[in-house]
């Protein structure tokens, strides 16, 4: 028996590279969690096609994300690392969950409202609307106890819990009730050019995000050209000094030092001092990751093997859960 609680999370392959926000807000925590949790980290490619996507680059982005997870410290021997579309049970369970979700409750999901408002009703897909039920399936298939996510995903986790409870009550106990694991100190990282919007893979400003794939020169340039605020005092004040506060958050996350200590150290110094030092810190954190990605991609067969092995491990569990669900719902068992 595995006594460790199970944790599950993923980052969508919606861009050619992950960014510093994904690292600080997600992957850095996952790496630490591997020891104490039975960890499942996956690449949600089914979720990536809920918004506009390019079939010519999706597979490469998915492979690249696998390499970036590993380079950042996800150990495929310790964690179960897999690609969502290679485990068909995700889509199969999502269908069942769609059928126990009311249209009204799905309509209340703020991520759908936000993302669909940007493009208008005719450019939003039914897939985007069904995203939260697919996410519920991702979690419930593996009986995950904890789901490390950002604050933005809290509502989806609440829906997942409602669906788990509803299914168990109506059809009989199958699912484990998951809890969100929201790290308070892993604050949200904001866009370097628009420090009131979150740093995102699909953000608008080209210099707003630091990508895992950025060369040191590019990293330094992006940090040095980050938008700062009026005045010259280095202080943490999210409302009045969003730019500097964001730089302090990144500094703190990468050095594991409290923000107050950093503010104290830079008392009387200029924004430029902070930026020069932060550029070095980010380059130092990201360079080994970028180099390791290149090594992993130079051995594609090895990467293929890791991906295949992960899918096999994940599928064994997913098949077991799905067959219980199908049985409870009353589907006729297929001949073996």
**Closest CB to ligand ATP among 118 and 336?**
118
Q: What is the dihedral of CA 195, 197, 203, 207, to 10 degrees?
A: 0
Catalytic annotation, pick one of 12, 28, 198, 275: 198
**Closest CB to ligand ATP among 92 and 197?**
197
Q: Which two tokens stand for residue 277?
A: 């030092």
Could you say whether residue 202 binds ligand ATP (CB under 6 A)?
A: yes
Catalytic annotation, pick one of 12, 28, 201, 275: 201
The CB-nearest residue to ligand ATP is 25
Name the DSSP class of 124. Answer: S
Could you say whether residue 7 binds ligand ATP (CB under 6 A)?
A: no
Q: Which residues contact 253 (CB under 8 A, 6 or more apart)?
A: 24, 28, 185, 186, 187, 189
Q: Is 188 a catalytic residue?
A: no
**Closest CB to ligand ATP among 188 and 292?**
188
Q: Is 336 a catalytic residue?
A: no
**Closest CB to ligand ATP among 100 and 182?**
182
To ligand ATP, the closest distance from the beta carbon of 201 in angstroms equals: 4
Choose which of 166, 188, 224, 238 interacts with ligand ATP (CB under 6 A): 188
Site for ligand ATP in 31-60 (CB under 6 A): none
Strand order in the sheet with 38-43: 80-83, 38-43, 6-10, 146-148, 179-181
What beta strand segments (E) does the chain contain? Answer: 6-10, 38-43, 80-83, 146-148, 179-181
**Closest CB to ligand ATP among 188 and 224?**
188
To ligand ATP, the closest distance from the beta carbon of 25 in angstroms equals: 2
Could you say whether residue 25 binds ligand ATP (CB under 6 A)?
A: yes
Which range, of 93-101, 194-202, 231-239, 256-264, touches ligand ATP by CB under 6 A? 194-202
3-state percent breakdown (helix, strand, coil) of the chain, nearest 5: 55, 10, 35
To ligand ATP, the closest distance from the beta carbon of 299 in angstroms equals: 26
Question: 84, 40 in Cβ contact below 8 A?
Answer: no
| Rounded Cα–Cα distance for residues 330 and 332 (Å) | 6
Choose which of 22, 65, 68, 101 interacts with ligand ATP (CB under 6 A): 22
Contacts with ligand ATP, 145-174, as mask; x by CB under 6 A = ----xx-xx---------------------
To ligand ATP, the closest distance from the beta carbon of 153 in angstroms equals: 6
Q: Is 201 a catalytic residue?
A: yes
| Rounded Cα–Cα distance for residues 177 and 140 (Å) | 8
Question: 178, 160 in Cβ contact below 8 A?
Answer: yes
Could you say whether residue 12 binds ligand ATP (CB under 6 A)?
A: yes
* Burial profile 250-264: b = 16 or more Cβ within 10 angstroms, e = fewer: bbbbbeeeebeebbe
Question: 202, 15 in Cβ contact below 8 A?
Answer: yes
Catalytic annotation, pick one of 115, 188, 313, 324: 115
Which range, of 6-14, 66-74, 168-176, 296-304, touches ligand ATP by CB under 6 A? 6-14
DSSP string, 299-316: -HHHHHHHHHHHHHHHHH
Neighbours of 72 (CB within 10 A): 22
What beta strand segments (E) does 68-114 contain? Answer: 80-83
Per CB under 6 A, residues contacting ligand ATP are 11-12, 14, 21-22, 24-26, 149-150, 152-153, 188-189, 198-202
Residues assigned a catalytic role:
115, 198, 201
């Amino acid at each position: 028996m595995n006594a460790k609680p199970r944790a599950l999370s993923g980052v969508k392959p919606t861009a050619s590279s992950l960014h510093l926000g994904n690292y600080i807000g997600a992957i850095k925590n996952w790496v630490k969690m591997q020891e104490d949790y039975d960890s499942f980290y996956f690449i949600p490619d089914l979720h990536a096609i809920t918004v506009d996507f390019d079939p010519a680059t999706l597979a490469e982005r998915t492979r690249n994300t696998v390499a970036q997870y590993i380079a950042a410290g996800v150990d495929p021997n310790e964690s179960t690392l897999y690609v969502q579309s290679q485990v068909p049970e995700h889509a199969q369970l999502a269908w069942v969950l769609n059928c126990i979700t009311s249209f009204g409750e799905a309509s209340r999901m703020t991520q759908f409202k936000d993302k669909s408002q940007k493009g208008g009703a005719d450019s939003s897909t039914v897939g985007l609307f069904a995203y939260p039920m697919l996410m519920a399936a991702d979690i419930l298939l593996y009986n995950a106890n904890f789901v490390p996510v950002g604050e933005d995903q809290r509502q989806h986790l609440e829906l997942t819990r409602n669906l788990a409870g509803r299914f168990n009550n109506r059809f009989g106990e199958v699912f484990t009730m998951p809890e969100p694991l929201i790290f308070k100190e892993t604050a949200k990282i904001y866009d370097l050019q628009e420090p009131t919007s979150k740093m995102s893979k699909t953000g608008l400003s080209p210099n707003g995000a630091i990508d895992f794939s950025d060369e040191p020169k590019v990293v330094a340039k992006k940090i040095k050209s980050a938008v700062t605020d009026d005045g010259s005092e280095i202080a943490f004040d999210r409302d009045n000094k969003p730019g500097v506060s964001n730089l302090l958050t990144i500094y703190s996350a990468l050095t594991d030092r409290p923000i107050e200590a950093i503010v104290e150290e830079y008392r009387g110094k200029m924004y430029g001092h902070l930026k020069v030092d932060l550029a070095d810190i980010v380059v130092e954190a990201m360079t080994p990751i970028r180099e390791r990605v290149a090594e992993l991609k130079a051995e594609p067969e090895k990467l293929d093997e890791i991906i295949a092995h992960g899918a096999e491990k994940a599928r064994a569990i997913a098949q077991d859960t799905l067959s219980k669900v199908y049985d409870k719902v009353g589907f006729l068992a297929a001949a073996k």
